[in-house]
Amino acid sequence: MQKIEIGIEGMSCASCVGRIERALTAQPGVSTAKVNLATEKASVEFSEPATPANLIEAIRGAGYKPKIQSAEVPVIGMTCGSCVSRVERALTRQPGMIRASVNLTTQKAFVEFLSDTLSLPRIHQAIRETGYEPQDPDTSAQTEQEDSEGIELRRKVIFAAVLTIPVVLIAMGKMIPALEALYAGVLSHRGWMAIEWLLTTPVMFYAGARFFRSGYAELRHASPGMNSLVMIGSSAAYFYSVAALLIPGFFPAGTAESYFEAAAVIVTLILLGRYFEHIARGRTSEAIKKLLQLQAKTARVIRDGEAVEVSIEAVVPGDRIQVRPGERIPVDGVVAEGQSYVDESMISGEPVPVAKQKDAELVGGTINRNGSLTFRATRVGADTVLAQIIRMVESAQAEKPPIQELADRIAGVFVPIVMVIASLTFITWFGFGPAPALSFAFVTTVSVLLIACPCAMGLATPTAIMVGTGKGAEMGVLFRKGAALETLARMDTIILDKTGTLTRGRPELTDFIPVEGQEDEVLAWVAAGETESEHPIGEAIVKGARDRGLTLPSVSEFQAEPGYGIHARVAGHRINVGADRYMRRLGIDLNSVHDSAVALAEKAKTPLYVAVDGRLAALIAVADPLKEGSVEAIAALKASGLSVAMLTGDNRATAEAIASQVGIERVLAEVLPDQKAAEVKRLQEEGARVAFVGDGINDAPALAQADVGIAIGTGTDIAIEAGDVVLMRGDLRGIVNAAALSRSTRKTILGNFVWAYGYNLALIPVAAGALFPVTGYLLNPMLAAGAMSLSSIFVLTNSLRLGRFKPEGADFDQHPGK
């Protein structure tokens, strides 16, 4: 059994999802097929006789475009036909490979593969495993086309709008008596209709070509969707108008009118809605790209006693690798020689580098701060911790979000029902209507299709999301995915990371308690000694002294002892700074400050001690302090009925001290990235709707797994890209504002849907001629087009009301800098 993911372009509603799922599950060998509209991906489990190529053809047959990447990979070392066969067999066995062809003459392999399942590095590895050496292909063309869909949509919207505006102005002129007389002096009625025809035709068949292609495919597969309604509704108005222009005598008196403006407006508004959707859609792949950038490209491997720089793909478990200061550790391993401090914030989220010496574990992607290390590789390629984090983010993002569930359910039945009603209307009037029956049948059918045209339906969500996201940006809240605006309103549980989320994310000097000597003098001596240290705690002490305006004397005889502290000679004095174990080793009594040190530790502060000439001189505390506003934000979240918890990679004592300060009762400490994501998933399985707030690379899997991931804007780019919502100012009080805006946006979206569907559905019987037997009234297609336009205008204006949104009962937004 294989499982692959296929990116798909061209989906717009639940009908598209259902059509693709049916096309895939109809393939022999396919056990399950799930299509996600938000991520534009299909996840398929299959076995023989199904192949990726069959699945691709099934998607194409349904009228959609699968995302396929192709590349020419130069292969060095092939000498005969058997070499070609061996490479081809290795490539075709890769999950997600569609086609692989190797040319011995050009020494190249041409591959077509699913970019959401397979990657070029994995293809390189497969070639290398057969005994040949691949080279990097040119990927510049792919980069240039990354946002081609957005560029095309914008161009088509502008083109359609430029031609539609004069068509609408002409139509208005024919309905306003003063303008009608003016227009009549320039051209005849049919002359203006001919101009409308010329302007509307390119809007229909150039700007709106995608609707005709997709709509035709939907009808050909007997599975009508939104594109079908757009195609039929706009075509009905267009061809009705063409007929009224060319053969006006065919129509009942007073009905040979032009509705070209309705056709043009339909296409233009739906294109605008699609463009809004494209902008609002989350670009989840950016998080993966940033994570991939953490992976080193090369490694310095010791081969035959010499350090040789090799490609990262050539590293195998057991290799001895050298890492110099400032370099990124290429793969996971265990230290064999040397000692250093390693920045592991991407894994733990903690800002303080970790001391590493013999037998200590190293994680690929972390950064060696100082000191050279030689280590033995234990996990490479897909087995590294970083690769596992990447897979977790991909897996969580592939899960189908709840956005558009209501719209999808309605769309699944609305479109076929409208098609049936339109058909029944035509049959009824043609079979039982008064003469000329064909004309009456045509008029009523067109009215039904125009009333039911899904302009407002297509705009209901994207317009509200666009206005809501713009308002959020004004408040310092960036909604990266439109789904979050709808989803955040329904959260009942919020989980927060500690470091960089509740706290500032960097150590600061918080306390300096002198025991002997003048406070400023002793602090200046300590800070002078720490200027030679590369440890972040030392940097915090130096910054604290300089913030007080102290002048630091010169230093000599500096030496750092990893895990203990430093000693130096400053101003003629011997200075020792470090942990309690360092003082005990020096034989210095700490009883006089024991209670103070315990009290500091209980407040999540790290106590350090200063000895001057062998005597205890001061107690120092360094801590990662709470952000201003954290306490108020937690109180507001709890007051709104949310369950609040904290997850962190820090030790339990520090975690519980911070939780106590902000008022959080539930704490899970000393957890790794996968445990954070697992805890989020466990709560979801219990029925909770979870929002996770974090700022580090280690938070990325949990941010992606959560129903809504809220990233701190002052944190890492990877966390920001993995999040659905970004607090740009890093202030947790923004969560309260974001939740209030989300509730208003969801209410607006629901109101849009009620109007868009309800208004049109209420008028469908009128458009079908239900009032004709009683009143003799038949809805003119112009009024049907007007009703359609009014519905769209209401949706747009209703969404624009979000621009006047103000946070509910809180003035946090007035203090964004706090």
Q: Which residues pair with 321 in a beta bridge?
A: 301, 375
Token pair belonging to 593: 């400050």
**Joined tokens for residue 559:** 């030496």
Alpha carbons 51 and 683: distance in angstroms, whole number: 36
* Run of H or E including 23: helix 14-25
Please state whether the peptide bond connecting residue 49 to the residue before it is cis, i.e. omega within 30 degrees of 0. yes
Backbone angles phi, psi at 242, to 5 degrees: -60, -45
The span from the first CA to the last CA of the chain, in angstroms, equals 54
Rounded CA-CA distance 403/388 in Å is 27
Taking CB atoms within 8 Å and a gap of at least 24, the contacts of 554-558 are: 554/528, 555/528, 555/529, 555/531, 558/529, 558/532, 558/533
Q: What is the secondary structure of 652-721 as a DSSP string?
A: HHHHHHHHHHHT--EEE-S--HHHHHHHHHHHHHTT--EEEEE-SGGGHHHHHHSSEEEEETTS-HHHHH
CA distances from 627 to 543, 624, 634, 801, 818 (A): 18, 9, 12, 33, 9
The residue among 486, 408, 461, 393 whose CA lies nearest residue 11 is: 408
For the chain, give the number of residues.
Answer: 818
Q: Is 341 helix (H, G, I), strand (E, B) or coil?
A: strand
Say if CB 9 and CB 117 are below 8 A apart: no
Residue 246 has a CB neighbour count (10 Å cut-off) of 12
With contact defined as beta carbons under 8 Å apart, do 75 and 108 qualify? yes
- Alpha carbons within 13 angstroms on the beta-carbon side of residue 314 total 18
Alpha helices in 111-188 (DSSP H): 120-129, 140-144, 148-175, 177-184
Proportion of the chain in helix, strand, coil states, percent, rounded to 5: 50, 20, 30
Separation of alpha carbons 695 and 681, rounded Å:
19
Number of other residues whose CB lies within 10 A of the CB of residue 282: 21
Contact status, residue 321 vs residue 333, Cβ threshold 8 Å = yes
The CB density around residue 662, as the number of other CB atoms within 10 Å, is 21
Picking from 152, 161, 84, 71, the residue whose alpha carbon sits closest to that of residue 114 is 71
| Token pair listed for 592 | 């006089």
Active-site residue, 497 included = yes
Q: Are strands 298-303 and 133-134 parallel, antiparallel or unpaired?
A: unpaired
Peptide bond into 436 cis (omega under 30): yes
DSSP letters spanning 281-325: S--THHHHHHHHHTS-SEEEEEETTEEEEEEGGG--TT-EEEE-T
Amino acid at 494: I
* Residue 11, CA distances (Å) to 15, 56, 64, 626 in order: 9, 15, 7, 45
- Which of 116, 319, 343, 497 does the annotation list as catalytic? 497
Name the residue among 102, 107, 24, 100 with its Cα closest to residue 60.
24
Beta carbons of 276 and 148 less than 8 angstroms apart: no
Kindly list the catalytic residues.
497
